[in-house]
Structures are given as C-alpha cells and as structure tokens.
Homo-oligomer: A and B are copies of this chain.
Amino acid sequence: MEIEQLIRRWADAVHTGDLDTVLTDHGDDIVMFDVPPPHEGVRGLAAYEETWPPFFAWQATGASFEIVDVDVTEGEDVAFAWALLKCGTPDEFADVPDRRLRLTIGLAKRDGRWVVTHEHHSFADTSQSS
C-alpha cells in the first residue's frame, strides 16, 4: 500500500472509531508522542492501542479528524510523513479557526510492507510566546 493511502486509511479509521484498522499497519515497537502525557511517550503497540478509546469518546462529542495537508518523504526502506489535520469541536474552531493537529509519522519497510514505528501528535502551544 502506498504511504499516503496508508495514512488516509488510518485517519479515516480514527474518525470512524475502527480500532482494528487504526492498528493494522503499526509495529509492536511503536513509540508515540501523544498530545497528552506521558512525557516520555507511549511505548509499544498495546500501550498505543489503549490511547484510542478515550480519544474516540471525546471525538463522539462532535469533533472532526480530517487531513487537510500531507507530505510524504519515501526512501527505499525508511520513510516519514507530516500532516496537518482539522481535529477539534465546532466550539474550538469558533475560537481558533486555524488550529491544526500537527502529525509526524515514521515508517520502516518490513517484509516488503510499510509499517508505522513512530507517531508524534501535537497542537501548537498558544499559552506562551516561546
């Protein structure tokens, strides 16, 4: 599967709450820097899986999870991508229309297939100037 297609399928699965598809292209050794703590990152696929049900519960209050920009740098055996997503509730976008979830994804080719081994999710910190 092409990397951009893999990312779009993952984002659609996040939005529909399809946990199996969210996990399907992810490595057992994934390290995820999530929006909330832990500060040192979420380590391993089981811990990654546990982050999603609370997110799905929040999303069910009416939040979007929609890719608006994606850029893939694909090599022979390693790749990374960044993306910007509309992720928030209508109230949040009323306050800050240009708010975006910033996402970086790292991938390695294993047995001929792209596998996600790193994710970094964040919002820009608007509480301070530096």
Instruction: Report A's interface with B, CB cutoff 8 A.
Output: 31, 33-41, 54-55, 57-58, 69, 71, 73-80, 82, 84, 96, 98-100, 102, 104, 106, 108-109, 117-118, 120, 122-130
* In the bound complex, CA of A2 to CA of B26 (Å): 27
Contacts of A58 in B (CB 8 A): 130
> B40 near A98 (CB under 8 angstroms)?
yes
Say whether, besides A100-B39, A120-B120, A78 and B84 are in contact (CB < 8 Å).
no
> B78 near A79 (CB under 8 angstroms)?
yes
Those 9 A-B pairs whose CB atoms lie nearest each other, nearest first: A75-B78, A122-B122, A33-B102, A80-B106, A75-B77, A37-B124, A80-B80, A104-B120, A76-B76
Contacts of A78 in B (CB 8 A): 73-76, 78-80
What are 25 inter-chain pairs, A to B, with CB distance below 8 A? A31-B71, A35-B124, A36-B125, A36-B126, A36-B128, A39-B96, A39-B124, A40-B69, A40-B84, A40-B100, A54-B129, A54-B130, A55-B130, A75-B75, A75-B76, A75-B78, A75-B79, A76-B78, A78-B78, A80-B104, A80-B118, A82-B118, A106-B106, A122-B123, A127-B127
